[in-house]
Structure formats: C-alpha cells, structure tokens
Amino acid sequence: MNNRSIKIVLFFLLVTALSNCFGQISLPSVIEIRIYSSIKIKSLEATVLSGEYLLTDASGDISIISNGFENIEFFPAGNNNINVLIKGKLLELHSPVNLSGRGFENFILLQPSAAASFSRAYDDDLIIHAAEGELTVINRVALEKYIAGVVQAESGWFRHEEFYKVQATVARTYALRQLSRHQASGFHLCDQVHCQVFYGRCNYPEIIRGVWLSAADVIVDENNKLIESVYHANCGGQTVSSGDIWPQSVPYLTSVIDPWCADMPGSTWQASVSRDLFLDYLLNNHSLRLHHGQQLLSFSQKNRMRFLDSDELINLRFIRSHFNLRSTFFSFYEQDGQLLFKGRGYGHGVGLCQEGAMKMAENGYQADSIIKFYYRGVRISNLHHF
Ligand SMILES: [Zn+2]
Ligand SMILES: [Zn+2]
C-alpha cells in the first residue's frame, strides 16, 4: 500500500470512528418539559416577570404582546378551546396557545388553580393545551436553563461548586438519554422524579455557575454512548450493583464501597413495623407458612444483600416499597410486638451517591474524579467540541 492509500484509509477510519463516537448524541438547544405534571390544572394565571412575550394560538392569527407584570389568565373552554383573559378582554383561542419570549431574558410567574405553593417562575416559552376541561402546560426551555432548574430541585443550596458541576453533568446526561421517554405524549420529559424533578428557573448563582462551567459535558461509556446516570441521596456506605435491581447489569453501575457519605444527613434511619403486619405481609404476598415467617423476624446485613430469605424469594426491594422504608440496606429485630428497623442510606442506591459526592467535593476532589468514582470505566465528553 502506498502512502496515499494509507492516508485515505486512515482518513476513513477517522471519519468512521468519529461518527461512531458522536453520531448518536445530539445536543438540542431547547427541550420541552411538561410542568405541573402531578396536578390537574383547571385554570392558570401567568405574570411576565422579565422580557416580553408574544401570545399566539393554533390558528396563528392572534398575536398580543405582554410585558411588565401584566396578568394573563387561561381557562379551558368548549371544543377544547382556551379562554384567555388579557388586557381586560376575554378571548376564546384555539388550543394550543403559545407564549413565546421575545425579550433579552424572558421569564414568567405561573400560578395554577391549586395551592399557592405551586406558584413558580419559568424561563423561556410556554405551550398551553386544553383537553377535557383541563390544561396541560409545556415549558419549552433552553437545555442548560432546564439543567440549572433540575440541579436546584435535586440537590438544594449551599453545596460546593465542584458538586454542582457533578450534579449538572449527571442531570444533563440523564436528560439527554431519556429524551424520547414521553415522545408519544408530545413532550420530552415530565417534571417529576420519573424523569427528574424540575420546579422552574434556577435563581441561585452558584448553581448557574456550576452548570455554566460544565456546559455540554456528558458522561459516556466505553462505547461512547450516554450512560444511564442514575443517582440517589445516600448509599449508606455501599452502592447497589445495577444487576441487583435490573434484569441486565451495566458495567459502569457496579457496587462501590463508599467511605464518603457516612455522617451525612441521609446516612442512617430507623423505623418500626408491627410484627403482626409484617407476618401478614409475608404470608399474603410470599405465601410463606407462618412457622417459616417466624424465622424471618430478625435480619441483619453488613454488606448489601438482595434477599430477606435464604431461598431468595423475598427481594428486599419489595419490603422497602411495601413498608415505605428509606432504603433496602437495613437490619431489624423484634421487640415488644414491633420490628425495629435500623437502616443505612436513602434511595435506591444505584449510581452516584449525592451526599458522598458532596463530601468528596468539599475534600478537594474534581468533578471528573467524583463522577468516575461512582460510575466505573466512564469518560466525560464535551458535546460542544464536536
Ligand atoms: Zn417522566
Ligand atoms: Zn454513599
């Protein structure tokens, strides 16, 4: 093979490698989140807090500009239309109605017809649909603004900057991997724990800085695919292997001994369950004869176990879910008709332990080291570089 042929072969190898690497990953500039997805919205009040909004409906011939603390009210009308009260006028518009930001920085305060605690501010645009007497609200928002909102809702304030970079990278990777989750319903992600919790715009400068410093960073596996970047509050000292809770195990979600999350708020818990209720549960749900159940009135695990019984019939996840316990990393014993549970950790325990990651950040670890501690064999890629 001459030099020219070698160069051509190398060129094609490089092109193939790059397209394999990043062909599957695209970075959308905006994503659509169904907000208030846990409540029924009978009416919605909106107040422009910053910028300028254009109101249009599905027919495209209504266009009204709203700015400066003006209230707009939306109610479902007949034929799945939407009544809009704006500037003292009542309009019946075709669903969906769009509120599109046109100013330099656009955000809007929303108050649905529920408790006042649902009053929240959202960046960028809204799409409001009406069906069967209810409104569905979608926030079309710049990806990184959404990520900042998720970091605020999922990890709170007063954390180390390096932790915010970790949480932003993890949340971004998770969101991009799940983008088709609600495709059939016409939006990308919901705003509940099913996707990731998102309660609107982030107003905490340290979080925005962490998101900005990690912008477009994502976590990929050895095949350059976005990882399933699951996370939880506290692992109790040992994370759970994905194979213990999913049908197939994933190499980067393996069990890790975590020395960092002890002494954090979610590291230990206690609960008590009536002995009779526990035995009823074993009997009714696992068809155990009572004398067999009696043997299961004390249990301890030093390292994480999967099953309560030696026959491997009763997964600890069933017990956690039925009795609403914080984790499956528990021991218990009987006392005065009660089973006293002493547990470690908070959450499912797979992937990144948030409180451990916080402690690592406080101890000077960089974001990529923290991510690679909890997700084994991964790499951080920056999608802006391609
Ligand atoms: Zn969802
Ligand atoms: Zn941990």
pLDDT tens digit string along 230-275? 999 999 999 999 998 888 899 999 999 999 999 999 999 999 999 9
Give 190 Cα–ligand 2 centroid separation in angstroms.
Answer: 27
* Residue in this structure with the two tokens 């209230």, named with its chain if needed: 71
Q: Strands across the sheet with 134-142, in order?
A: 64-67, 52-56, 97-101, 125-131, 134-142, 30-35, 189-190
Give 150 Cα–ligand 1 centroid separation in angstroms.
Answer: 13
- What phi, psi does 213 have (nearest 5°)? -65, -25
Q: For residue 291, how many other CB atoms are within 10 A of its CB?
A: 7
Q: Is pLDDT above 60 for 15? A: no
Distance in angstroms (rounded) separating the CA atoms of residues 256 and 374: 7
Give 50 Cα–ligand 2 centroid separation in angstroms.
Answer: 40
Distance in angstroms (rounded) separating the CA atoms of residues 322 and 306: 16
CB-CB contact of 352 with 229 (8 Å): yes
> What separation in angstroms does the CA of 67 have from each of 43, 72, 108, 200?
20, 10, 10, 19
Q: Any idea which ligand is nearest the CA of 193?
A: 1
**Angle between the N-to-C axes of helices 205-213 and 143-155, in degrees from 0 to 180, rounded to the nearest 10:** 120
Q: Any idea which ligand is nearest the CA of 233?
A: 2
Percent of the chain with pLDDT over 70: 90
Angle at alpha carbon of residue 334, lines to 330 and 339, rounded to 5°:
55
Give 320 Cα–ligand 2 centroid separation in angstroms.
Answer: 18
326 alpha-carbon distance from chain centroid: 18
* Res. 113 pLDDT band, cuts 50 70 90: confident
Q: Is pLDDT above 80 for 386? A: no
pLDDT at 12: 38
Q: Strands across the sheet with 330-335, in order?
A: 268-274, 338-344, 330-335
Burial grade of 177 (CB within 10 A; 0-12, 13-18, 19 or more):
middle
Q: For residue 247, how many other CB atoms are within 10 A of its CB?
A: 6
Q: Any idea which ligand is nearest the CA of 188?
A: 1
Task: Give per-residue pLDDT as tens, 122-164.
Answer: 999 999 999 989 999 999 999 999 999 999 999 988 889 999 9
Average pLDDT on 58-87 reads 85
Q: Are strands 52-56 and 64-67 parallel, antiparallel or unpaired?
A: antiparallel
- Token representation of residue 22: 């990043």
Torsion over CA: 201, 168, 151, 316 (sign): positive
- Token representation of residue 227: 């990882």
- Token representation of residue 126: 């809204």
Give 304 Cα–ligand 2 centroid separation in angstroms.
Answer: 12
Average pLDDT on 40-59 reads 91
Distance in angstroms (rounded) separating the CA atoms of residues 286 and 316: 12
Q: Is pLDDT above 70 for 8? A: no
Give 345 Cα–ligand 2 centroid separation in angstroms.
Answer: 7
Distance in angstroms (rounded) separating the CA atoms of residues 237 and 60: 57
- Token representation of residue 273: 């369950």
Give 305 Cα–ligand 1 centroid separation in angstroms.
Answer: 29
* Residue in this structure with the two tokens 């050895």, named with its chain if needed: 222
